[in-house]
């Protein structure tokens, strides 16, 4: 018997590196290069691609070309294109582009919400209701950040997460993301929370957004699968991390997670070789070495020629 039984449905990966990764890349990636990488990602089997953010260009100048990127990418019919919307002004900008979904973020932690969004949780939730009412044709996904821990206040109580999820359900949301923003979750914690969420709302589309800060990203994903979750955010090369969470490092790595799932017999429609090549292309653009491992070692099937045996 397998450690984690493969579910009857595919595991869907959602690529967030072009937003979550590039927002803290340290240097601007020009629009043509962003478009080229997104077009490559569009053919690799991702369910969703978070393309950009409509945050203020003054606050995040590395994503100041959001409208230009969305105007130029080639859209695949089987991919949902997503952008983060931080406020009403961001919604206005999003509505003027060709998008499928917007992602609206709030922290379970009051301290982190104030640091990240300059608002209380109550203000964020009220704003979410306003955005949802005026989103028109756009699907709205609600993300709850710091769902396992806050960099300022420590551990997050499961009950607090469940209470906020219920508030969003009462608001009518059909899609929610649970984020381990600072990478403190362990497999047992992930299993407990995800099992409770699945029991609370069996029909709710739940995504887990994991970070690999303490090396447990893939293990936490397996725990979530065992609890009935089959959607995961991931970032090519493992790049990214919240700029308002001290000590937080990159997201779970797309190719590392895909490699584990594919080699363990899960249905996961990702072109691993193409993903590794795309990650290396973005590494070359940024002149950086990303933290992902499989792109360095190669897939499990990789072999090397045997060196000549030494003379006896």
Q: Which of 194, 242, 253, 268 is catalytic?
A: 242
Q: Give the closest residue to 66 by CA, choosing from 107, 39, 25, 29.
A: 29
Contact 227, 191 (CB under 8 A): yes
Residue 293 · residue 254 · CB < 8 Å: no
Cβ contacts of 78 within 8 Å, gap of 6 or more: none
Containing 52, the helix (H) or strand (E) segment is strand 48-53
- Please return the burial class of 283, using the count of CB atoms within 10 Å of its CB with bins 0-12, 13-18 and 19+: middle
Using left for φ > 0, alpha for ψ between -120 and 50, and beta otherwise, residue 178 falls in: beta
Q: Compute the distance between CA of residue 192 and CA of residue 212 in angstroms, rounded to an integer.
A: 19
Three-class DSSP category at 207: strand
Contacts of 133-140 with CB under 8 Å at 24 or more apart are 134/91, 135/91, 135/95, 135/102, 136/95, 138/94, 138/95, 138/99, 138/100, 138/101, 138/102, 139/80, 139/100, 139/101, 139/102, 139/174, 139/175, 140/101, 140/102, 140/104, 140/173, 140/175
Tell me, yes or no, if 242 is annotated catalytic: yes
Q: Which residues are catalytic?
A: 242
């Amino acid at each position: 018997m397998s450690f984690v039984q493969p579910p009857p449905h595919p595991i869907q990966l959602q690529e967030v590196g072009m937003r979550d990764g590039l927002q803290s890349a340290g240097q601007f990636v020009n629009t043509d290069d962003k478009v080229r990488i997104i077009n490559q990602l569009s053919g690799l089997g991702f369910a969703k691609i978070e393309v950009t953010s409509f945050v203020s260009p003054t606050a995040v100048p590395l994503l100041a070309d959001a409208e230009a990127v969305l105007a130029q990418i080639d859209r695949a019919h089987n991919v949902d294109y997503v952008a983060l919307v931080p406020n009403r002004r961001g919604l206005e900008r999003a509505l003027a582009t060709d998008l499928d979904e917007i992602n609206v973020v709030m922290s379970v932690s009051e301290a982190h919400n104030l640091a990240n969004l300059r608002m209380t949780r109550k203000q964020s939730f009220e704003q979410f209701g306003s955005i949802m009412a005026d989103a028109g044709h756009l699907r709205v996904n609600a993300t709850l950040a710091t769902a396992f821990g806050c960099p300022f206040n420590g551990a997050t109580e499961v009950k607090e997460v469940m209470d906020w999820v219920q508030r969003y359900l009462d608001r009518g949301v059909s899609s929610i993301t649970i984020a381990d923003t600072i990478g403190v979750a362990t497999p047992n914690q992930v299993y407990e929370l995800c099992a409770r969420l699945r029991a609370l709302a069996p029909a709710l589309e739940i995504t887990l957004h994991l970070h690999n800060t303490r090396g447990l990203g893939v293990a936490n994903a397996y725990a979530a699968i065992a609890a009935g979750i089959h959607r995961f955010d991931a970032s090519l090369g493992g790049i990214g991390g919240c700029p308002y969470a001290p000590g937080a490092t990159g997201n779970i790595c797309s190719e590392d997670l895909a490699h584990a799932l594919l080699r363990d017999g899960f249905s996961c429609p990702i072109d691993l070789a193409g993903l590794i090549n795309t990650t290396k292309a973005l590494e070359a653009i940024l002149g950086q070495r990303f933290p992902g491992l499989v792109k360095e070692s190669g897939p499990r099937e990789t072999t090397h020629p045997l060196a000549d045996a030494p003379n006896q």
